[in-house]
Structure 1
Amino acid sequence: MHRSYQPLKPVTNRYLQQRWDQNNYDNHRRKVTSALPVVDNKGSRTPAHVQLKLKKLQLQDERLSVIDRDNRLLASKLSDIVCSKGLVEHQNHYHLRSLNVNKRREELLLVSRQNQAIYQRITSRQSEYRRQLWLDDWERAERRRDDISRYPRGLVEKQKSLRKVKFAAVNGSERSTSCSNTDTDKTDRTSRDT
């Protein structure tokens, strides 16, 4: 009974009412799919005079005609100049000179004289640095350093080249370790001797 058609209004025959309702619904759906818009949403057509722009084309043609006329005039003038022998003397035979060249020359001579005087003073001076005193002082400082140092110079490099790696057995497990310190070598030797 739950699958049977339940109309909205009381009817005598449910089966017929279902057929009629389905038919009405199908007609409604067909009308909805075939409906056309009422409002015209297409854009307005642009007028021909706006699309073509005759005034712009006319101005462009006039501009091109003026340019052509000017080019023809210029070409004729250039051909006249090339064909003629030239009547104008355009050679300049004078040299350009500055008005204050003498003053600049005097200033240059003054600066060069001053530079020469400075150079002479520099080359005639004796050096105030005494290189030999510096070397003597350095040697004295090295001698003092060697005197007060615990080990003489160059001993560390000699020890590095003579030092050898020794292996010693550890008491709990028979592992061997490398030892590079000379103090530990001395203690190992004294412990082995005793």
Structure 2
Amino acid sequence: MHKSYQSILPCQSRILKERWDRKYYDEHRDKVREAKSVVDTKPPTTYVHLHLKLKKLQLEEERLATVERDNRILLEKMSQIMRTKGRVDNHNDYISRSLNKEKRRRELIRVTQENQEILKRILAREPEYNHLEWDKEWEENENFMDNVSRYPRDWWELEKQEQEMRKQELKERRKKDSKKSKSKKRTKSREEKSPEAREEQEEMEEKDEERPEDKHEDKSEEKDEDKSEEETKAEEAATTG
């Protein structure tokens, strides 16, 4: 066997070299087998008191014992009721006897009397501050503020009122202008036509006045209102600018 052994390093005797290499290899394997790991990979230690909770079992047994005792007492009561047809003495024929009842009653009367006296004194007390004088002083301060301030009080509300008034005035003007223009057109058409045609036209106009306004007239009025709103907005922008 030693003759077939091929050593890595050169040697004089193959037998000794084989023995030495085998010895070194066995020592190496023993060291590897006996080596301890740096990281502890063992399972954690198990504690009995964490898995078997004796206190919890004891409490559960006590609870079951109390439940059984209550059930037994209830069963005895039910059996007694069934035997005796449920005769229960529910009359409370007793008189309340108290040693300090009179003392407590006198104390209550004394406290109520003191409270009533305190209430009378509070109501009879006149106030040290006069609210009427405060109101007068506040009015005077407001007058001083109005005299000193640049803009009047509630100036935004006044502006809104002015804008609404302007809108109403513009609407009224447009209505008057539209009526005037219609009347002018009618007069012109009457002058141009013959008297018979004028009479027919007057009759038609009377009928139209009796009837509700047409859709075209409604649309024209809506357009006029839109124009009036745009003009009011432009005037407001000019005034604010």
Normalised-by-shorter TM-score class: 0.3 to 0.5
Question: Going by fraction, where is strand more abundant, 1 or 2?
Answer: 1
* TM-score (structure 2 length as normaliser): 0.32
* TM-score (structure 1 length as normaliser): 0.39
Question: Going by fraction, where is helix more abundant, 1 or 2?
Answer: 2
